[in-house]
Structure 1
Amino acid sequence: MSLGPFQPSAALSLGVELELQLVNTNDYDLAPYADDMLRLMAKHKLPGSVVPEMTSSMIEISTDVCQSASDVLAQLTPLRDALVQSADKLNIAVTGGGTHPFQMWHEQRIYDKPRFRELEDLYGYLSKQFTIFGQHVHIGCPDADSALLMLHRMSRYIPHCIALSASSPFVQGQDTAFDSARLNSVFAFPLSGRAPFVLHWSEFENFFDKMTRTGVVKSMKDFYWDIRPKPEYGTIEIRVFDTPLTVERAAALAGYVQSLAHWFLEDQPFTPHEDDYLVYTYNRFQACRFGLDAVYVDPVTGEHMALRDHIQFTMGQIERHAQAVGATQSIQLLKNDVSRNHNDARWLRTRQSQEQLLAEVVRLSSRHFRGAGA
């Protein structure tokens, strides 16, 4: 199967996908209501799309092509409101978060769609363990080579994306001691991890052809990389974010990524190297395990520093670029949280400490998702 040409797209355009949890309002466990939600959502005139996900207690919303974080929020907000309205009619609730705190994977049902059935046949129980919830951010790139350069530059900032979005501390009723336990489920898949280090599209096409000849890969969807090129959209897709607890935070994270991308395109601040990846897995693990308290190892100097310090330093570097793409408010929201060592994982743990009941934590997070006007 051919990779296909890298389609033109507007440089720095944005697209956001959010995988969300459907929970009942009795004990706040996951509820298999995706079909009913899709039927009700189809009655609303909305931007973007609403589609099923791997198991029937999940639903995914996506924006159309956006130009800024405020544009992302302007599209996610009516999608969120329609979801909440539809859920209320079904007496269920919708919530963010990278994992459901106490669902049991073996109780989940694979959504009846040919691709999901194929994945179940291939991956067995891992397909049900993939009842995890992420945010994906697409960034438009001016051409194919620029996309690969941006992908490998962005890899240095993957720990930022993980720590700022982390919202999966609980799995099957237990505090995992990770801020983002969700990514441990992704790592189990054989084609997860990171993209090969090539900086020219012709080399990437050659890699893709070799992989398809093995029969292991049929399309780009078979790669579960942290960042992958999406030639049919003309973007790179960053996939490490846990689904935030609010659409406001989801939009802010998109603004942060767009600001980084503007910096890369405008200033060409550094050339990535294969050796960047010597510390990649360590940095990624640190961010998953400790969130903002992680250690970050600079891939060039080998210097060890607090991840929160590296994030704050980077936010200072990209301040002008955030202003250029209209993301100043996004950066400020995230910067405030970093300064007080706060992310959604901390929010969830605080609620659990106060309530001592994970079902109540889910109820409160579903209220949090509804927004200030709930």
Structure 2
Amino acid sequence: MTPAGESPQAAPALEPFRASEPLTLGVELELQLVNTHDYDLAPYSDEMLRLMARFDLPGSVVPEMTSSMIEISTGVCHSTAHVLGELTQLRDALVRCADKLNIAVVGGGTHPFQQWHQQRIYDKPRFRELSELYGYLSKQFTIFGQHVHVGCPDADAALLMLHRMSRYIPHFIALSASSPYVQGQDTQFDSARLNSVFAFPMSGRAPFTLSWKEFEAFFSKTTRTGVVKSMKDFYWDIRPKPEYGTIEIRVFDTPLTIERAAALAGLVQSLAAWFLHEQPFVPAEDDYMVYTYNRFQACRFGLEAVYVDPVTGRHMPLRDHILETLRRLAPHAQRLGAAPSIQLLAEDAELGTNDARWLRQRQARERLLAEVVRQGSERFKGRR
């Protein structure tokens, strides 16, 4: 009840959807900071942020949930070459700063052997609030993802894009998977990172509606309960970002290289172009009948997963569906300058190779996860 004399607090309103240039891209990468002694996580985000502030860089560099993480973001980009150019500047500055601190920066969706209880929550009001709410889950959220934003012309188009894109969530997971190891153990998952995300109560999929007016009504009902206060409180696989005029795809593990990160952004852009120019299908609630199964298959088995077509119910190797999709996207990728990205991903799908497989191969050879992390840091620098 509201105390006498006080008016009830109004639920926060959803921000208006700002139209953006269709098919523009923005990429965020959450990265690991490790020491160069045993290659465990190192709480150096404050020092890195202070050194990075001296550089004139595109996009942004910000802290993340725990102090062994750092996030880099591009600005608004028009092509995969543009994305790669900005990520290269950010990566090179990160590496220079890390060298000064005698630490290293690494990609990958999880650190292979860090212990969650040793992590420190970064001293920022939102992170402290989340830590109080979620307890140990906050420290277990020391995981690392790539988020890709794609511009949409209007709010209804964004929802249509979101639900069309949802059919390809398994493709994104399998191609980006880079988190087979957790707490020193091979989890037998290609993407174990997403199991930590799924533990949060507001994770999963967005509600099905193709009307922004209906989505606003959903948001209003949800915020009235006090469960969420803003779109940031939804940990959905894909969510709209009205303040940017985008949808944000959040299921990618952070790749081991910025080249792969740019290629994955090229895949998203090519899919979005196909959707906008050909209107290939109208999504429906029934698409989600197999959604969780397909997502689990991709997390568990990567490119060896089974994919269930949501329309026909046909079972097929996910790798075959990825290759079929990439062939369909080729003309759009060519026009956008994303053909090299699609070609890189097609070659990896043909061979069944992703970053999870690379990590397992290195561990099979080295028998020491610290050495695998060291080699991963060299790979992030662009050194083979």
- Please report the TM-score for the alignment, with normalisation by the length of structure 1: 0.99
Query: Who is 2:47 aligned against?
Result: 36
Residues 335-354 of structure 1 correspond to what in structure 2 (within 5 A)?
Answer: 335-354=346-365
Residue 318 of structure 1 aligns to a residue whose secondary structure is: helix
1:302 is paired with a residue whose SS is coil
Q: Does 1:320 align with 2:328?
A: no
Residue number in structure 1 paired with 2:208: 197
Give the alignment partner of residue 136 of structure 1, picking from 124, 136, 147: 147
**Structure of higher CA gyration radius:** 2
Aligned equivalent of 2:69: 58
Q: CA deviation at 1:159?
A: 0.3
Partner in structure 1 of residue 172 of structure 2: 161
- After superposition, the C-alpha distances for 1:198-218 in whole angstroms (9 at most, x for unaligned) are 001000000000000001010
Question: Which 5+ residue runs of structure 2 have no aligned equivalent?
Answer: 1-11
SS at match of 1:17: strand
Shift in Å, 1:31: 0.1
1:286 aligns with 2:297: yes
RMSD between aligned residues: 0.6
Q: For the residues of structure 1 that align with 2:168 and 2:277, how far apart are their CA atoms? A: 17
Letter in 2 for 1:36: E
Residue of structure 1 equivalent to 2:60: 49
Letter in 2 for 1:208: F
C-alpha displacement at 1:179, in angstroms?
0.1
In the other structure, the counterpart of 1:298 is 309
Q: Specify which of 163, 172, 180 is matched with residue 152 of structure 1.
A: 163
Q: Distance in 2 between matches of 1:35 and 1:318?
A: 42
CA offsets per residue over residues 62-82 of structure 1, 9 Å max, x none? Answer: 000000111000000010000
Matches within 5 A, 1:147-226: 147-226=158-237
Residue 273 of structure 2 corresponds to residue 247 of structure 1: no
- Within a 5 Å distance, the mapping from 1:267-286 to structure 2 comes to 267-286=278-297
Alignment pair present for 1:114 and 2:130: no
Report how many aligned residue pairs link the two structures. 373
Q: Identify the residue that residue 246 of structure 2 maps to in structure 1.
A: 235
User: How far has the Cα of 1:326 moved from its partner?
Assistant: 1.0
CA displacement at 1:4 relative to structure 2: 1.5
1:93-113: CA deviation from partner (whole Å, max 9, x where unpaired): 000000000000000000000
What is the deviation of 1:8? 1.5
* Distance in 2 (alpha carbons) for counterparts of 1:306 and 1:21: 32
Is 1:81 aligned to 2:87, yes or no?
Answer: no
Following the alignment from structure 1 to structure 2, what is the Cα–Cα distance between the partners of residues 95 and 15?
21
Corresponding residue of 1:5: 16
TM-score (norm 2): 0.97
Question: Are 1:366 and 2:354 counterparts?
Answer: no
SS in 1 for 2:111: coil
Aligned to 1:23: 34
| Unaligned stretches of 5+ residues in structure 1 | none
- Partner Cα distance (1:358, 1:279) in 2: 35
Moved segments of 4+, more than 6 Å: none
SS of 2:105's partner is strand
